[in-house]
Amino acid sequence: DAKTTQPPSMDCAEGRAANLPCNHSTISGNEYVYWYRQIHSQGPQYIIHGLKNNETNEMASLIITEDRKSSTLILPHATLRDTAVYYCIVRVRDNYGQNFVFGPGTRLSVLP
């Protein structure tokens, strides 16, 4: 799996968009980008994933650069409940036995 690099922490004002960057310069052509988050000490929660195209769901948007070496998770209207640690992970999709490797992530603080 390609290694990812994320800033250790970020702040965002409540109601504004939160843009969380992730670098994955060694990503391979068949590796997907996944985002999870962990609120306080709860189990991680799946947010979104993508390969090449930008993706959007009810939680967030994922923007992947054309060269796929970096991506940005966007929370369009951050709330206090979005305060969490956000993990960017790259892995081969549905590979038998393939696991998610969690790094230290980005601690996002949404401020009132």
Partner 1 sequence: NAGVTQTPKFQVLKTGQSMTLQCAQDMNHEYMSWYRQDPGMGLRLIHYSVGAGITDQGEVPNGYNVSRSTTEDFPLRLLSAAPSQTSVYFCASRRRGYTDTQYFGPGTRLTVL
Interface residues with partner 1 (CB under 8 A)?
32, 34, 36, 41-46, 49, 87, 93-94, 96-97, 99-105
Min dist. Cβ of residue 102 to partner 1 (A): 4
Distance between terminal CA atoms of the chain? 37
By C-beta, is 82 or 87 nearer to partner 1? Answer: 87
By C-beta, is 43 or 112 nearer to partner 1? Answer: 43
Residue 34 to residue 71: CA distance in whole angstroms: 10
Number of Cβ within a 10 Å radius of residue 97: 4
